């Protein structure tokens, strides 16, 4: 197995049926800022059996950016 040294946190918000801007995730975002690692969020369609509302970039991602100015965010667009 290869090790390229990448570190980050992937949040799959539809698994918990919580939008990514919910305070539930804020301790994780704070830790990412403290450790200087990125967070990966999927935006767009989730799956046929799950509503896509949780993947809407606005207002979900906008609020995270405003609350965590130093957070590095990777968007996976589906």
Q: Which domain holds residue 13?
A: 8-77
Q: What confidence score (pLDDT) does residue 61 get?
A: 85
| Domain-embedded: residue 35 | yes
| Domain-embedded: residue 66 | yes
Low-confidence ranges of the chain (pLDDT < 70): 1, 46-48, 57, 78
Q: What confidence score (pLDDT) does residue 13 get?
A: 82
In whole angstroms, what is the distance from residue 19 CA to residue 36 CA?
23
Q: What confidence score (pLDDT) does residue 26 get?
A: 97
- Helix, strand or coil for residue 31? helix
| Domain-embedded: residue 3 | no
Q: What confidence score (pLDDT) does residue 5 get?
A: 82
Closest CA to 46 of 73, 7, 19: 19
Q: What confidence score (pLDDT) does residue 2 get?
A: 77
Kindly report the number of other CB atoms within 10 A of residue 52's CB atom: 14
Domain total of the chain = 1
Cα dihedral sign, 23-27-10-41: positive
């Amino acid at each position: 197995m290869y090790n390229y040294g990448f570190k980050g946190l992937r949040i799959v918000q539809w698994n918990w049926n919580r939008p990514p801007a919910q305070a539930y995730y804020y301790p994780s975002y704070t830790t990412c800022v403290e450790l200087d690692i990125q967070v990966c969020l999927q935006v767009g369609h989730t799956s046929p059996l799950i509503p896509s509302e949780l993947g809407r970039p606005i207002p979900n991602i906008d609020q995270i950016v405003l609350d965590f100015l130093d957070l590095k965010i990777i968007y996976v667009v589906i």
